[in-house]
Amino acid sequence: MHIHILGICGTFMGGIAVLAKQAGHRVTGCDANVYPPMSTQLQAQGIELIEGFSPEQIKLMPDIYVIGNVISRGNPLMEAILNMGFPYISGPQWLAENVLQGKWVLAVAGTHGKTTTSSMLAWILEYAGLAPGFLIGGVPQNFDVSARLPQTPALAKSKQDGKSISPFFVIEADEYDTAFFDKRSKFVHYRPRTAVLNNLEFDHADIFDDLAAIEKQFHHLVRTVPQQGLVVANGKESSLNRVIEKGCWSTVEKFGTDADWQASNASGDGSFDVIYQTKPQGRVNWDLLGEHNRMNALASIAAARHVGVATEVSIAALTEFKNVKRRMEIKGVVNNVTVYDDFAHHPTAIDTTVAGLRAKVSAARILAVLEPRSNTMKLGVMKDALPASLKEADLVFCYGANLGWDAAEALKPIANKSKTFDDLGMLVEAIASVAKPNDHILVMSNGGFGGVHQKILDALSVFLVEK
């Protein structure tokens, strides 16, 4: 089958392209901006990419068009597809019908931590020899790919036929809408047998009116979990408690305080003990910091246990977990100044990310560099929460271009330590001019941020030498 993907360079749609190619389909695709790293990753898979959405692409005559949720009415290629009456389908529905059907799906949902928890869970299953498939909105460093089909487990390979394929598939389950013609959340299509509900806050203000609207979508997900399935939920989240109270027909295990799964005796290096129903299970020895990562770990351990992975095996796997690219990823060190990249963009994620770095670096200076570019942040819905989320930073540099609100005004409560710039070059120069040896520069954005990480590193090599 030949499929043509509209909006192929997004993480999710790019993952679908990889899965379709691995399944033996001919895959082509287009997007408004075709550039590395996604373009090179896809081209390395033998996937032909086209810049833009010219109606001329209908001459490719694919069997079906797979439509990403970035595509809206008025898109010239989409209008041509509709006018010609050609078959089309959303990315989540194509995935459900062609990859997930018949699989034991483990779906990880939540406002924060989906990518990290999905990566942990996929790695635990891999470590346990279960060879899962996965589609994750980031690149787990234990795999170096964001998507793959289920593989043949090591135990099956030892059998004479060696043809048994793993039944397990881990997916990052996003609550964002499916497509312009399907306004349900993506995760409603996945029908998991194991569902992780990490947390739930108001987000995606461009499509949801309030928290109750998102809770309704999460309940739609819960309603699809079978009676013999498992819902793993953060017991500390009142929003998730409300979701489950609306009706749940599956077993529920909770993690957090006063829950089935708890973390205790956390040390400064990140290690902690795992407790299940008051009984110690072992200690996770790793260097990931912060309560949010401990909660992610508990959720992944509980989900893996549901498919038969012993808790001690999960703990051993997490000891070898390498985290996800763009999650406190060190981009470089110049004259003892360390530059990090992190995907944080929601105030809660910014708060936990900065707090995690603070726990790691103690009294050393943290220079937080922020680009509020998500749809929710651009609308200004969360702007009043920004100052508090940056309380652990020593200095704050905000890139305020292309916002519908005044970033400097929003950051007035921390005006003594914050600066706002509309020019990226001036932002970089300001950071480099005040940086000192032993500083930690934390860049937070859910986009490429104009390659600011390397620009900062380059500028540091000049400014620090001149000093």
pLDDT tens-digit readout, 44-55:
888 999 999 999
Q: Calculate mean pLDDT across residues 268-273.
A: 86
Predicted pLDDT of residue 309: 97
Pairing relation of β-strands 395-399 and 64-67? Answer: unpaired
Residue appearing with tokens 């500028």: 459
Q: Which pLDDT value is given to residue 199?
A: 84
pLDDT band at 359 (very low <50, low <70, confident <90, very high): confident
158 band by pLDDT with thresholds 50, 70 and 90: low
Number of neighbours of residue 270 by Cβ within 10 angstroms: 18
- Spatial distance between the Cα atoms of 377 and 347, rounded to a whole number of angstroms: 9
CATH architecture under which domain 2-89 falls? 3-Layer(aba) Sandwich (3.40)
* CA-to-CA separations, 53 to 8, 12, 66, 70, in angstroms, rounded: 11, 19, 13, 12
Tell me the average pLDDT across 110-134: 94
Contact 396, 427 (CB under 8 A): no
Instruction: Kindly report, residue by residue over 361-406, the tens digit of the pLDDT.
Output: 888 999 999 988 776 666 667 788 888 989 989 999 988 887 778 8
- CA distances, 245 to each of 222, 240, 253, 257 (Å): 11, 8, 14, 19
Tens digit of each residue's pLDDT (9 = 90 or more) over 207-251? 777 888 999 999 999 999 999 999 999 999 889 999 999 999 999
State the pLDDT at residue 235: 92
Q: Which residue from 302, 305, 303, 301 is spatially nearest to 318, judged by alpha carbons?
A: 301
Report the chain's mean pLDDT, rounded to a whole number. Answer: 89
At 349, is the pLDDT very low, low, confident or very high (cuts 50, 70, 90)?
confident
Torsion (CA) 443, 444, 448, 451 in degrees, nearest 10: -10
Q: How confident is the model at residue 442 (pLDDT cuts 50, 70, 90)?
A: very high
pLDDT at 155 over 80: no
Radius of gyration of the chain (CA): 22
pLDDT of residue 161: 53
The answer to whether residue 418 scores a pLDDT higher than 70 is yes
Distances (CA, A) of 131 to 122, 141, 164, 223, 433: 9, 16, 11, 28, 49
A 10 A CB-CB count for 251 gives 13
Choice among 52-61, 68-77, 272-281, 288-297 with the minimum mean pLDDT: 288-297
pLDDT at res. 55: 97
pLDDT of residue 36: 64
pLDDT tens digits for range 281-304: 999 999 887 888 999 999 999 999
Confidence band for 39, pLDDT divided at 50, 70 and 90: confident
CA 213 to chain centre: 21
Q: Of 163, 157, 158, 167, nearest to 193 (Cα)? A: 167
**Confidence class of residue 172 from pLDDT cuts 50, 70 and 90?**
very high
Give the domain ranges of the chain: 2-89, 102-319, 329-466
Pairing mode of beta strands 418-421, 395-399: parallel
Q: Where are the alpha helices (DSSP H) in 330-412?
A: 347-361, 375-378, 386-389, 407-410
What average pLDDT does the segment 153-164 reach?
64
Which two tokens mark 466?
Answer: 């001149």
pTM of the model: 0.79
| Structural contact between residues 284 and 318, judged by C-beta atoms closer than 8 angstroms | yes
Q: Where are the beta strands (DSSP E) in 285-428?
A: 329-334, 337-342, 366-370, 395-399, 418-421
Alpha-carbon distance of 441 to 328, in angstroms, equals 11
Contact 255, 302 (CB under 8 A): yes
Residues 161-173, mean pLDDT to the nearest whole number: 87
Q: Is the dihedral of CA 422, 427, 430, 435 positive or negative?
A: positive
Pairing of strands 272-276, 261-264: antiparallel
Percent above pLDDT 90 for the chain = 57
Is the pLDDT reported for residue 163 higher than 70?
no
Q: What is the pLDDT of residue 162?
A: 54
Q: Binning pLDDT at 50, 70 and 90, where does residue 325 land?
A: low
Residue 16 has pLDDT above 90, yes or no: yes
Q: What is the pLDDT of residue 462?
A: 79
- Asked if 193 and 225 count as a contact pair (C-beta separation under 8 A), the reply is yes
Q: Which of 65-74, 109-118, 128-137, 242-251 has the lowest mean pLDDT?
A: 109-118
Mean pLDDT of 113-123: 93
Q: Which element (helix H / strand E) includes 53?
A: none
Query: At residue 155, what are phi and psi to the nearest 5 degrees?
Result: -65, -40
Please say whether the structural domain 329-466 has been given the CATH code 3.30.470.20. no
Q: Under CATH, domain 102-319 is a member of which superfamily?
A: Mur-like, catalytic domain (3.40.1190.10)
The secondary structure of residue 324, as a DSSP letter, is: B
